[in-house]
Amino acid sequence: MKKFIETLKGAGFDGKVDDSASTRDFYSHDASLFEIKPEIVVHPKDSNDVKTLVRAVLKARPENPKLSITARSAGTDMSGGAINESIIADFTTHFDKIINLNKTSARVQPGVYYRDFEKESLAVDALLPSYPASKDLCTIGGMVNNNSGGEKSLEFGKTDNFVKELKVVLSDGNEYTVKPLSRKELETKMKQDNFEGELYKKTFELLEDNYDLLQAARPRVSKDSTGYHLWDIWNRETEIFDLTKLFVGAQGTLGLTTETKFDLVKAPKNSGTLVIFLRKLDNLGNIINEVMKHKPATFEGFDNYTLMLSFKLFFSFHKLLGWPETIKLAFQLIPNALMLFKGVPKMVLLVEFNGDTPEEVAQKVHDLRMDLSGYNHESVFEEDENEMKARKFWIMRRASFKLLREKVKDKHTAPYIDDLIVNPEYLPEFLPKLRKILNKYKLLATIAGHMGDGNFHVIPLMKLEDKKERAKLEPSMREVNELILKYGGSLSGEHNDGLVRGPWLEEMYGKKVVKLFKEVKNIYDPDNIFNPHKKADATWDYSFSHVRESF
């Protein structure tokens, strides 16, 4: 690798190159249950550095066929998509610019933290609403490459709905702009006698030849981050060809994103929340369907374990909020803490409404409470028309996974069945069967997620150093996946495939569609230099061999 580093610097790479033991160890983990130590970490300064990196890897591959590049920003990926045994390219160091921003759109580099972007967008009453629960930790690049979604996806959809243009460095070492094309523009591209023209020609032929198969393969759920969304690229009716739909959610397996243009929405002025404390979970599926009749803007939830951990560790939120705000919210928690003497709720549900006026919001919140009054024997309600009282619960929801990772010492988060999605109408049947599987394998699992989409984050807490615990991973995952697919769901609503779900794509899509995924990977990355062993290139043997053995 020393020779490659010399070659890279000699080729004009201007950013930092680091192969120190401490750096390699730090970048060997993301938020997943996997561990892979890279050989070097690079920090490209600009697009020219990214192009230089790709070209240097291609040149050195004959001597070192395992050379590859994995893009990384905040490292919050839960699927193992941001780790690699060769080269990690960290985009947070220099690709951290908001190039332009107005009320309706923005152009942003991948290393920009969403929390910083949101401050700027809210200053002009605009919002990128596809942020995940890790909004205070994640970056724009991670959101794009995972096709992230979150609490506002119920109303607005996921990141792919807002991406209008991308700049991507592809496997020939050049940077290209991809955006929606008309049929005439597509035909012009395909006539080009160069690498780009060949890509468009081969992609179009694959999509057109397999059009019906791919349209039938489209997941029938409101959110999905599995595979490559080939069914969204070419639309025969509108004759629009949009390659952004291929790269958004591709986890950097087809190229390296250097810039994104987004559409933005108007930030809501008035919001209110109904907080529902469920004493029992028997009717959770029915309650979810009742709530959805009211068309909420947001519908989230988290379980009793997360609630109690948040109460216990509430003052740790000072790093996020500052001490004055943390203390203020702690005092607001006192009435809710007293409620625990009557028994800890099994689940906390947060149902948010938006409106043009505070009065409109208050009426929506009140109407839902009245319609759910039949569940009063097992529920306690707290109306909040201006989000002040509910804010503490939103913080708990958004910080739940971070709390579990950092504060639970005797067990460790094992996010491997963490992002399932089943349409809400099936939840009354689905959820009891899911709980039965968890009980069968004696899995202590926290549950949070996006109730309105039927998108649940089930995070087992396990001692993965114990071989008996590790042995539960494959069989329990198989049973949960079979149950999800039985009800027409998806294995991932927003966290993507990576190492953890890539090996299961064939179970979800079948051999013919996965073969097309592999063909697309080969078209765009014939030498497999971009993020290998992820998505359609993943195998369970490889993934399982890299499950962390120590924490």
Residues 6+ apart with CB under 8 A from 360: 270
Looking at the chain, the number of H-run helices and the number of E-run strands are: 23, 22
Kind and range of the H or E element at 71? Answer: strand 69-72
Residues 6+ apart with CB under 8 A from 449: 300, 301, 302, 455, 456, 457
Per-residue 3-state assignment (H helix, E strand, C coil) for 80-115: CCCCCCCEEEECCCCCCCEEEECCCEEEECCCCEHH
Q: Which of the residues in the chain have pLDDT under 70? A: 314-323, 325-342, 376-389, 400-410, 551
Kind and range of the H or E element at 498? Answer: helix 498-501
Model pLDDT, residue 310? 75
Provide the 10 A C-beta neighbour count for residue 308.
13
Model pLDDT, residue 377? 53
Please give the sequence-ordered ranges of beta strands (E in DSSP) within 210-269, or none if there are none.
234-235, 240-242, 256-263, 265-266
User: Strands 180-181 and 298-303, how do they pair?
Assistant: unpaired
Model pLDDT, residue 538? 97
Provide the 10 A C-beta neighbour count for residue 14.
13
Cα 528 from Cα 530, distance rounded (Å): 6
User: Strands 444-450 and 417-421, how do they pair?
Assistant: unpaired
Cα 142 from Cα 251, distance rounded (Å): 8
What is the distance between the terminal CA atoms of the chain, rounded to a whole angstrom? 28
Buried b (16+ CB within 10 A) or exposed e, 153-189: bbbbebbbbbbeebbbbbbbbebeebebbeeeebeeb
Q: Are 252 and 496 in contact (CB under 8 A)?
A: no
Q: Domains along the chain?
A: 2-90 (3.30.43.10), 98-266 (3.30.465.10), 270-486 (3.40.462.10)
Provide the 10 A C-beta neighbour count for residue 192.
13
SS3 533: coil
Closest CA to 346 of 312, 380, 388, 313: 380
Residues 6+ apart with CB under 8 A from 177: 165, 166, 167
Sign of CA dihedral 473, 475, 480, 482: positive
Per-residue 3-state assignment (H helix, E strand, C coil) for 141-173: HHHHHHCCCCCCHHHHCCHHHCEEEEEEECCCC
Closest CA to 456 of 491, 485, 486, 413: 491
Please give the structure tokens belonging to residue 63.
């001597």
Average pLDDT of the residues of the chain = 91
Sheet with 87-90, edge to edge strand ranges: 16-18, 40-43, 87-90, 69-72
Q: Are 457 and 447 in contact (CB under 8 A)?
A: yes
Question: CB-hemisphere CA count at 13 Å for 268?
Answer: 19
| Nearest-10 crossing angle of helices 391-407, 323-339 | 100
User: Residue 26, exposed/middle/buried by CB under 10 A (0-12, 13-18, 19+)?
Assistant: middle
State pLDDT tens for residues 394-438: 777 777 666 666 656 667 889 999 999 999 889 889 988 998 999
Please give the structure tokens belonging to residue 371.
């319609």
Question: CB-hemisphere CA count at 13 Å for 367?
Answer: 15
Phi, psi of 87 (to 5 degrees): -120, 130
Q: Are 461 and 411 in contact (CB under 8 A)?
A: yes
